[in-house]
Amino acid sequence: MSSKTKAAILIIGCIIIGFILGILLDRLFLLKHHPPRKPGLKEYRKEIIERLKLNQTQQIQLDSILSWSQREFKNLSREFRPKYDSLKNALRDSIKTILNPEQIKKFEEMIKETEKMNGGKPK
């Protein structure tokens, strides 16, 4: 095999490997910075209908049940959220008492990252 052929094969091999590595790194970057979205109510409804093979009457009843439960979860969240937020803030404040100023700064960055991962909602 001539040196030109070897060089051409080497170059083509490098291009293919680079292409594959590029795709893999792109996928890893996307998953890290854009984690898969949690399925919502529409996806849950669709899965129930498909997997349980609900008829039209059952689908209407399911919609009523899901609508009712969604309202109840929102009401519960209104009651629960202030207590949850208060406890979360007390926890964070307590942790900060054992940290030095540099650690506090890093801890606050961690909190921001967590909130960003949760769709900007403080959790």
> Has residue 48 been placed in a domain?
no
**Is 112 within a domain?**
no
DSSP code per residue over 4-54: HHHHHHHHHHHHHHHHHHHHHHHHHHHHHHSPPPPP-HHHHHHHHHHHHT-
Flag whether 84 is in a domain: no
Residue 64 lies in a domain: no
User: At 55, is the secondary structure helix, strand, or coil?
Assistant: coil
Q: What is the pLDDT of residues 73-106, one digit of tens each?
A: 899 889 888 988 999 999 999 999 999 999 999 9
* pLDDT for the residue numbered 1: 76
Residue 66 within any structural domain of the chain: no
Q: Which two tokens stand for residue 14?
A: 């490098």
What is the token pair recorded at 60?
């209407």
Please tell me the total count of domains within the chain: 1
pLDDT of residue 39: 73
Q: Give the max Cα distance, the chain.
A: 78
Which is nearest to 92 in space by CA: 76, 103, 81?
103
Which tens digits make up the pLDDT trace of 15-28?
Answer: 888 778 778 777 77
Average pLDDT over residues 63-81: 91
Q: Is the pLDDT of residue 4 over 90?
A: no
Residue 7 belongs to what domain range?
A: 1-36
Residue type at 19 in one-letter notation: F
Residue 15 within any structural domain of the chain: yes
Q: Is the pTM of this model over 0.85?
A: no
Q: Is the pLDDT of residue 64 over 60?
A: yes
